[in-house]
Structure 1
Amino acid sequence: MLALLAIALAISMAILDGAIVNVALPVMAKDLAVSPGAAIFVVNSYQIAVTASLLPLASLGDILGYRRVYLSGLAVFTAASVACALSPSLNLLIAARIAQGLGAAGIMSVNIALVRFIYPHRMIGRGVGNVALVVAVASAAGPTVAAAILSVAAWPWLFLVNLPVGLLALLVGSRTLPATPRSGARFDAPSALLNALTFGLLIIGIDGVGAPEERGLALVEIAGALVVGAAFVWYQLRLPAPLLPVDLLRIPAFALSMATSIASFASQMMAYIALPFYFQDVLRLSETRTGFLLTPWPLAIAAMAPLSGRLADRFPPGILGGIGLGTMALGLTGMALLPPEPSALDIAWRLTLCGLGFGLFQSPNNKVIITSAPRERSGGASGMQSTARLTGQSLGAALVAVLFGLSHGAGPAEPVSLSLWCAVALAAMGALASVLRRKPAG
């Protein structure tokens, strides 16, 4: 249906722009005459802007309507993409990336909430599965899309391609996305500020943990995030409709689904980061071969996501999620126990198992997150779903960086093995949290 097409186009752009820039960082640094270390903030600024603004924009969705926030975020994202392409300096590019991240947060914060109003209740699992499919394909396609564009054009075209896609999504969305109820509440600016400080300091701190020379400052930033976060939670507990939906976290199914989501995405990210080092430093494979070997995981997610969405409409989501993450843990265990000289088939079937398991888990888990919340709090639930994903990914990346730092001087296989076993533990904990949700949502 056309409403889902509008969501799919916008989500694809937001997900892709979180990944495709990585490939172009070296040439960006050269063209803008800056160091590689400084250029990395082109990536980090986007991530920080998205994470820090997800919950405030989800709250605005409850207040103003999800359609309005979604289309406004899409318009900002599209305009900021053009600004990124035209930026003549690093500072202007970073400013445009922050604006682009704010637009992406507008898209991500309410997309699942909109699905609740597009699909009838009996088909919500199918709708969530379709969105999960889009996210999986966009995540998998990031490096390939970037390489294809850079093979025929300069790096600004990584951003300019968003212009026609964004305009098409705006046209379709403005005609098809449903109007949703408005809460009539007032926007809580102090909560938004505390939220931005908490998640901003946390993400900056996590990003710095992996660098030994920055670790002291990073730990201070993380400690600051915990202090501000404690004040943030205390303030939210006093509010009838908090920006940080602590009221939703009192719902056992919602809280367990959030914990499961964070654990699963942290596990996935640990494997995604560690495995390229194993393929290239241990097996001595090329970058191209590494990319090829990693492909079965996202392809399996894309194949499983629509099916798992339909299963979530018929069977208890908690059980499906537990089976999915248990399967993912088995695949990761297989990767950790690979023989010294594995064949491509040895690797492919294990990574396929990981992808099938994660794909089976994701749609049912997202369905529980959105349907265990009251209908009028769908924006807060949707924002928390995206926040859990980004938090889990950031924690997974930080854990890999710490393990590689602690294993300095050891052989290249040791930190990879430690990372994979930690990923197994996280997937197993997520599976346990999932099956504790005894009743199907809704």
Structure 2
Amino acid sequence: MVALAFAMLVVTSEFSIAAVALPAIGAELGAAPSVAAWVLLAYALPMAAISIPAGRWVDRADPALVITMSMVGVAVSSVLAALAPAMWVLLVARLLQGFAAGLTLAGYLPVISANVNPDKRGRALSVVVTIMTVGGMAGASLGGVLAGTFGWRSVFLLKLPLVVVAVWLLLRVTSKRRGGLPRPDGALLREAAVLSGAVASLLLAIDLPAKQPVLAGGFGLAAVALLLLWSRLPQSQQVVDLLRARTFGFTMAGLFLLCFNAGVMTFLLPYFLSDVLGEGPAATGTLMLVFIAALSLMSPVGGWLADRIGPLRVAAAGGAATVATTSLLLTLGPGSGLTTLGWQLALIGAGFGLFNTPIITAILASAPAEGTGTAGGVSATVRMVSQTVAPAVTALCWTVAGGGLAGFRAGVTALVLIQGLGVLALLAARRRR
């Protein structure tokens, strides 16, 4: 689990670590902020696009070897990013990083399934989640120090020691499985191409509305058309059938809706602090650490409870706690201090920590033994799309309500309602007697 946690930390920390270097990247390579933002998007797009077909491929392969290959790909593309002489080279390197990282997201559940007894998977996953969360927090801080001391290029080399440790541990301690690294067939590549177009169109449609609404609408229609085309492909039927299964389908719906919690931290918190309380980025960073610390402390508890009383039950309880504590934000006003906001965010983090580990355990439990890679790929795509859509939804609510305190409360209300539907989905996912 430590080996897997290091591998997952490598791929998930890329968002926060690269984000701290965006201003320096834009300044040196002559890119406007809107162009520099593609350093993050170029990494996210391929990860979301290939996770599902990669998951089906992992089900025929040795998942430990897949993740090892993924780590090598991340390392090589990181070196290319650090040496990039121009923005287009950096973006190509980030695309390659995203493709390589998507293999880890598709392979981590099969590794757990092959190496951990079912009655201990909640606790095992809590190890992964805790190391990922704490490591990602430390990585972002260290990345800022490195960028300021040695320049932005050093940020992309920060994770190379972790890659070495992850590969060494994975090859030593994971049980081997037949399959090796089979050659992807043409059907798999076609599916990946269609999903890549669909995910790219969806994210562009979300990113463009305020700037170019007509173009955003066109991308939205393209995303729908490509998703319909994908659902008609013969090779997609395994995923479609999996989503139609009551337990797995409702669990995925709960994951998608409750991951809208990201809207609090990525949009509502910084805008509330800036526009209502008149605070700066330092306060935002400190309060984010409070949220992350509470999430990290509660993750092992969620994993232990998932093994004792069932992951879906604990995930639903964690989701309900997240909804209840998020609704506390509606009591905030111009006179609210940072202390009040801090303890409320700590409660939200604890609630989401109680949800986060059990929901992954529930996904693994509801997937067929031969389809854990597919389940991992689907869950990675669902989570990433949710966390991308959530800031756009809260931004829309903020804008429609006129910003300020009214906009903040409109965004919080929307998130409470959406996450409440997620709790209902998890309750519906439980099998009837």
Corresponding residue for 1:96?
93
Amino acid at match of 1:285: E
**CA distance change for structure 1 residues 153 and 178 in 2, over 3 Å: closer, same or farther?**
same
**TM-score (norm. length: structure 2):** 0.94
Q: Give the drift of 1:82.
A: 0.6
Match of 2:215 among 217, 236, 256: 217
Q: Give the drift of 1:142.
A: 5.1
| Alpha carbons 2:18, 2:156 under 8 Å: kept | no
Corresponding residue for 1:110?
107
Aligned length: 430
Corresponding residue for 2:125?
128
Alignment partner of 1:283 is 2:277: yes
| Alpha carbons 1:16, 1:141 under 8 Å: kept | no
Q: Give the drift of 1:185.
A: 10
Corresponding residue for 2:291?
297
SS at match of 2:308: coil
For residues 244 and 30 of structure 1, the distance between their equivalents in structure 2, rounded to whole angstroms, comes to 47
Match of 2:15 among 8, 14, 18: 18
CA distances 1:239-292 after superposition (whole Å, capped 9, x unpaired): 4xx376112112211111111111111233344321111112210112112211
For residues 433 and 9 of structure 1, the distance between their equivalents in structure 2, rounded to whole angstroms, comes to 32
| Alpha carbons 1:53, 1:102 under 8 Å: kept | yes
For residues 333 and 171 of structure 1, the distance between their equivalents in structure 2, rounded to whole angstroms, comes to 45
| Alpha carbons 2:143, 2:158 under 8 Å: kept | no
1:75-86 pair list within 5 angstroms:
75-86=72-83
SS at match of 2:151: coil
**TM-score (norm. length: structure 1):** 0.92
| Alpha carbons 1:243, 1:380 under 8 Å: kept | no
1:247-262 pair list within 5 angstroms:
247-262=241-256
For residues 63 and 337 of structure 1, the distance between their equivalents in structure 2, rounded to whole angstroms, comes to 52
Q: Which runs of 5+ in 1 are unaligned?
A: none
| Alpha carbons 1:14, 1:104 under 8 Å: kept | yes
For residues 358 and 230 of structure 2, the distance between their equivalents in structure 1, rounded to whole angstroms, comes to 30
Match of 2:353 among 331, 356, 359: 359
For residues 199 and 362 of structure 1, the distance between their equivalents in structure 2, rounded to whole angstroms, comes to 24
For residues 253 and 122 of structure 2, the distance between their equivalents in structure 1, rounded to whole angstroms, comes to 20
Amino acid at match of 1:105: G
For residues 170 and 330 of structure 1, the distance between their equivalents in structure 2, rounded to whole angstroms, comes to 41
Amino acid at match of 2:148: S
Corresponding residue for 1:232?
230
For residues 120 and 162 of structure 1, the distance between their equivalents in structure 2, rounded to whole angstroms, comes to 30
For residues 370 and 35 of structure 1, the distance between their equivalents in structure 2, rounded to whole angstroms, comes to 42
SS at match of 1:342: coil
Q: Give the drift of 1:392.
A: 0.7
For residues 339 and 413 of structure 1, the distance between their equivalents in structure 2, rounded to whole angstroms, comes to 7
Match of 1:421 among 391, 398, 413: 413
Out of 254-263 and 57-66, give the one that drifted further.
57-66
**CA distance change for structure 1 residues 76 and 23 in 2, over 3 Å: closer, same or farther?**
same
Out of 113-122 and 136-145, give the one that drifted further.
136-145
Out of 310-319 and 40-49, give the one that drifted further.
310-319
For residues 115 and 71 of structure 1, the distance between their equivalents in structure 2, rounded to whole angstroms, comes to 15
Out of 135-144 and 164-173, give the one that drifted further.
135-144
Q: Which runs of 5+ in 2 are unaligned?
A: none
Corresponding residue for 2:203?
203
Corresponding residue for 1:53?
50
| Alpha carbons 1:233, 1:244 under 8 Å: kept | no
Q: Give the drift of 1:5.
A: 2.2
**CA distance change for structure 1 residues 46 and 274 in 2, over 3 Å: closer, same or farther?**
same
**CA distance change for structure 1 residues 262 and 139 in 2, over 3 Å: closer, same or farther?**
farther
Q: Give the drift of 1:181.
A: 4.4
| Alpha carbons 2:254, 2:425 under 8 Å: kept | yes
CA distances 1:124-168 after superposition (whole Å, capped 9, x unpaired): 111222222233324444542332222322101110112222122
Q: Give the drift of 1:76.
A: 0.2
**CA distance change for structure 1 residues 295 and 163 in 2, over 3 Å: closer, same or farther?**
closer
Alignment partner of 1:173 is 2:165: no
| Alpha carbons 1:61, 1:68 under 8 Å: kept | no
Alignment partner of 1:267 is 2:261: yes
CA distances 1:397-427 after superposition (whole Å, capped 9, x unpaired): 22123234434xx342222221111111122
Q: Give the drift of 1:69.
A: 1.5
1:310-349 pair list within 5 angstroms:
310-349=304-343
| Alpha carbons 2:60, 2:179 under 8 Å: kept | yes
For residues 345 and 48 of structure 2, the distance between their equivalents in structure 1, rounded to whole angstroms, comes to 29
For residues 309 and 412 of structure 2, the distance between their equivalents in structure 1, rounded to whole angstroms, comes to 30
For residues 409 and 126 of structure 2, the distance between their equivalents in structure 1, rounded to whole angstroms, comes to 32
SS at match of 1:178: coil
Alignment partner of 1:35 is 2:32: yes
1:118-197 pair list within 5 angstroms:
118-141=115-138, 143-182=140-179, 187=185, 188=187, 189-197=189-197
Corresponding residue for 2:427?
435
Match of 1:390 among 373, 384, 398: 384
